[in-house]
Amino acid sequence: MLKIEGLHAGYGGFEVLRDVSIEVGAGETVAVLGPNGAGKSTLLKVIAGLLKPSSGAIHFENRRIDGKAPYEIVEMGISLVPEGGRLFPELTVYSNLMMGSFNKRTRRYFKDSLEEVASLFPIIKQRKNQVAGLMSGGERQMVAIARALMSRPKLLMLDEPSSGLAPKIVASIFEFVKEIKDRGYSVLMVEQTVKKAVNVADHIYLLESGRVEFHGKKEDFLENPKIKRSYLGI
C-alpha cells in the first residue's frame, strides 16, 4: 500500500533521514521505533507532504506521492495525527472535526463519518461545543485521532501518540489504536515507548540516526538479542 524506497530528507544541508525504505501493507499496523532525534517525526512529515525529500521515492497505492502538496496527499487517503494532537485551539471540537472532513472526497460523508468516529470516541458527542484548547492532553489526543479519521483515510499515521500523557491514558490510547486497526485501517505509527507500541504492531522498524537498523515481524524483533538488551531491558 505504502512503499518508501531509498528516502533521504533533512533541513537545509543536514540529512535527518538516510536511505530509509519502509513498507506498509493493506490492513497492517507498522510501528517505527527509535530514540529521540532518530528522524521518526521527520519521516511522517515527509510522507504527509510537509517536508520535501531530497531523494528517494514514496508510492501510495502505486501512485507516486513524494513532492505533492499536503492537501493532495490527504485527498489520496493518508491522514496524519501530529505529535500532541495539534488541534486548532480556538475552534470547538465540532469545528475541528469539520476541518478533518475538509477534503472534497469525504466532505459529503460528514454526518456518516461523525457517527462512525463517535462510536469509537463517545467523548466527541458530549464535548461537541467545547473549545479544543481547554481540553486535557488525553482528550485532545482522542479528538485529534477522531479528526484524522474524519478524512476517511486508508492509511492513518500517528506521531508519538503517547507523548506527554500519563501512563493510564497512554494505555487507553493504545486500546483505541487496536480498535482502529480492527476496523480495518492501515496504521503507521511512530513511537518512543517501545513495549506498548510493539503490542499493537504487526511489523517493526527500528530507526537510529536516520537509518533503518532493523526491520521485521514483531516476533523477530522480540527475539533479537541486541534489541532485547538495549530496548526491552531484558
Partner 1 sequence: MKQIKNLKRGILLFLLALLIVWPFLFQSKYLLHILILIFIWSYVTTVWSYMGRFGLVSLGHGAFFGIGVYTTAILFNLHHVSPWLGMFVGGLVAAAIAVVLGYGCFKFGVIGHYFAIATLVLSEISTLVIIALRDALQTGGRLGLTIRSVGTSPLYLQFDNKMYFYFLALALLLLALFIWKKIDESKAQMALKAVGEDEEAALSLGIDVVKYKTAVFALSAFLTAVGGTVYVQFTMFADPTTCTGVGLSLGIVFKAIIGGMYTLWGPTIGSLLIVILEEYTRLFLGSAYVSYSHIIYGLLIIVLIRFLPKGLHGTVSEIFQGRRKREAKTLLAGRQLAENRD
Partner 2 sequence: MLILNSVVNGVLFGGVLALMAFGMNLMFGVVQIVHLAYGQFIMVGLYLVYVLAILYHVPLLLSCAAATAAVALLSILAYYLVVKPLLKAPPINQLLALAGVWMVLENACLALFGATYKGVQVVLPVLHVGELYIAASNLIGFVVGLITLAMLYLFLNKTYTGVAIRAIAQDPEITGIMGVNPRTVYLVTFAVGGALAGITAACFVPVYSVHPHFGGAFTLLAFIIVILGGMGNLLGGFIGAFIIGVVTSVSSTLLNPEIGQIIVLLICLLIIIIRPQGLLGVRGK
- In the complex, the residues that contact partner 2 under the rule CB under 8 A are 48-50, 69-71, 73-75, 79-80, 82, 86, 88-91, 95, 98-100, 102-104, 107, 133, 147, 151
Contact between 44 and 57 under an 8 Å Cβ cutoff? The reply is: no
Q: Which of 29, 42, 103, 113 binds partner 1 (CB under 8 A)?
A: 42
Distance CA 120, CA 177 (A): 10
* Residue 85 region by backbone torsions, left for phi larger than 0, else alpha for psi between -120 and 50, else beta: left
Is 37 among the residues that bind partner 1 (CB under 8 A)?
Answer: yes
Q: Which three cell numbers stand for residue 193?
A: 515507548
* Shorter beta-carbon distance to partner 2: residue 91 or 118: 91
Q: CA 82: distance to chain centroid?
A: 7
Q: Which of 5, 10, 68, 92 binds partner 1 (CB under 8 A)?
A: 10
Distance CA 114, CA 186 (A): 20
41's contact among partner 2, partner 1, none, with CB below 5 to 8 A by partner kind, is: partner 1
Q: Which of 24, 30, 31, 41 binds partner 1 (CB under 8 A)?
A: 41
Query: Cα–Cα distances in Å, from 4 out to 22, 86, 115, 122?
Result: 5, 26, 33, 35
Is 164 among the residues that bind partner 1 (CB under 8 A)?
Answer: no
Contact between 138 and 166 under an 8 Å Cβ cutoff? The reply is: yes
Min dist. Cβ of residue 148 to partner 1 (A): 19
Is 17 among the residues that bind partner 1 (CB under 8 A)?
Answer: no
Task: Say which amino acid occupies 214.
Answer: F
16's contact among partner 1, partner 2, none, with CB below 5 to 8 A by partner kind, is: partner 1
Provide the binding-site residues for partner 1, judged by CB under 8 A.
10-14, 16, 36-37, 39-42
